[in-house]
Amino acid sequence: MMNADMDATAAGGEAAALHEAYALATAFLASLPQRPVSQVPTPAEMAVALDEALPENGRDPAGVVGEWFARAERGITASPGPRFFGFVNGGVTPAALAGDWLASAIDQNAGLWAGSPAAAQTELVVLRWLQELFGLPAEWAGALTSGATMANLVGLVTARQWAGRQLGFDAAGDGLAGQPSIAVVASSEIHLSAVKCLGTLGFGRNQVRRVAARCGAADVDALAGLLRGIDGPVILIGNAGEVNSGHFDDLAALADLRDGHPGGAWLHVDGAFGLFAAVSPRLAHLVRGIERADSVAADGHKWLNVPYDCGFAFVRDGSLLREAFAVGGAYVAGGAGWDPFTHVPEMSRRFRGLAAWCALKAYGRAGYRALVERCVDNAAAFARWVDETPGVELMNPAPLNIVCFRLVRAGLDELASDELNRLAVRAIQSDGRAFVTGTVWQGRAAIRAAFDNWRTTPADVRLLQEAVAQVGASLSA
């Protein structure tokens, strides 16, 4: 193998390396329908496959790419394939993938206008298209982020700025120390990413006050009661799609509570995947009232089916958002156009807007409506099968694209039943036909299947059913 140098002569190796990556990628994509979704390797097996000392001397880039793939392959999950139903992972459409490759090749810094007018303007257009797709007001500000966690952070940092202003201080400028506390209220089904943000923002992960969520949706009367006991400004976090079974808070009712709170309130909605209900007239009732929120977070790498990583935040009051992230600096002063870094935590950023632009342009509103409805139909078909099949039961109705279920066996007590379902998750993953993940729903171990991949067909849903049925039968034997 030749040794690679990083001088101008290296350009010759570029095409060879890209060809190698292309060959590996196309072979991988072609294998998705047959490939085991996961081989569930152990950490020890992956360490044996990959760990080594830093090489003193290099080798040719094409060889490096090929070597990595061969050594890591056992640990590559077929998550862009049609039968990965774990978490809420999305797939990657051809248009998004091509856009993402091009974004890496042209390597734009999408942090500021001066870094790339093309990237900054593309992001602006993508944000406006997304606002149109979801029916959010065009005057809102937005930002592309690395995912819904960072989109939650963008919304909540703006909420913190608003609350500080209500109390007479500048939260981003002067910090929270010595200031009156700001109440954060949510349901028991608040996503852990939002909890993580509350820790990052200085509110404290343990300070969020939670009301019960019957069947996944916040108990509005309990929320009203909680708010009555709070004098000052409140940050209210609602769910548009909780992660275990896809249920929605009554967002219009939450907006009413926000409007009625004497101390003022900010409504932030986590719509990581659930915001996509707005794309279908059949499902839009689930997000009724979301346009009354103060900030909304969602994911691109879930239901938009663009590659990791991509999310987006929308904020009603763009000036508060900019205040929250404003920093002056002579060397980045004043681009002629939009500087994305004034709306997000980072400075330099990946040009993730290109994959989203290509996807929205290639498939349009109608394409996304069809995708969302197909996924919801697949989820409904699976939920119906669960409902009708002895030995499995639904934990909660499935209003959108996540089915929460469990295996049931006569004569098992709660503990044994929980153990059976934990074993079943691992056994289904090891089986390789389909990938599901486990959870705990209202104190009981359960299994989740999420449907948000453009490749999934009804035949894939039947394979999932077969895998669940066979694993269930063999565990009972």
Ligand X SMILES: *Cc1c(COP(=O)(O)O)cnc(C)c1O
Are 252 and 215 within 8 A, CB to CB?
A: no
Residue 215, SS3?
coil
Least Cβ distance, residue 216 to ligand X (angstroms): 11
CB of 130 to ligand X, least distance (A): 15
CB atoms within 10 A of CB 377: 15
Which of 143, 145, 104 minimizes the C-alpha distance to 124? Answer: 143
Q: How far is the CB of 385 from ligand X (least distance, A)?
A: 24
Residue closer to ligand X by CB (options 147, 472) is: 147
Q: Which residue is nearest to ligand X (CB)?
A: 147
Residue 86 vs 289, nearer CB to ligand X: 86
- What is the four-CA torsion angle of 348, 350, 351, 352, rounded to 10 degrees? -140
Question: Shortest approach of ligand X to residue 341 CB, angstroms?
Answer: 19
Residue with smaller CB distance to ligand X, 88 or 277? 88
For residue 467, give the amino acid letter.
Answer: A
Q: Quick one: 390 exposed, middle or buried, by C-beta within 10 A (0-12, 13-18, 19+)? A: exposed
Residues in Cβ contact with 104 at an 8 Å cutoff, skipping those fewer than 6 apart:
none
Residue 197 CB, shortest distance to ligand X, in Å, is: 9
Taking CA atoms, 269 is separated from 49, 78, 171, 376, in Å, by 42, 31, 21, 21
Task: Catalog residues that contact ligand X under the rule CB under 6 A.
Answer: 88, 147-149, 191, 193, 241, 243, 270, 272-273, 299, 311
For ligand X, the closer CB: 193 or 342: 193
Report phi then psi at 287, rounded to 5: -105, 20
Q: How far is the CB of 240 from ligand X (least distance, A)?
A: 8
The residue written with tokens 């009625």 in the block is 260
Q: How far is the CB of 337 from ligand X (least distance, A)?
A: 28
By beta-carbon proximity to ligand X, the closer residue of 244 and 465 is 244
Cβ closer to ligand X: 306 or 464?
306
Q: What is the 3-state secondary structure (H, E, C) of 267-322?
A: EEEECCCHHHHHHCCCCHHHHCCHHHCCEEEEECCCCCCCCCCCEEEEECCHHHHH
Choose between 248 and 357: whose C-beta lies nearer to ligand X.
248
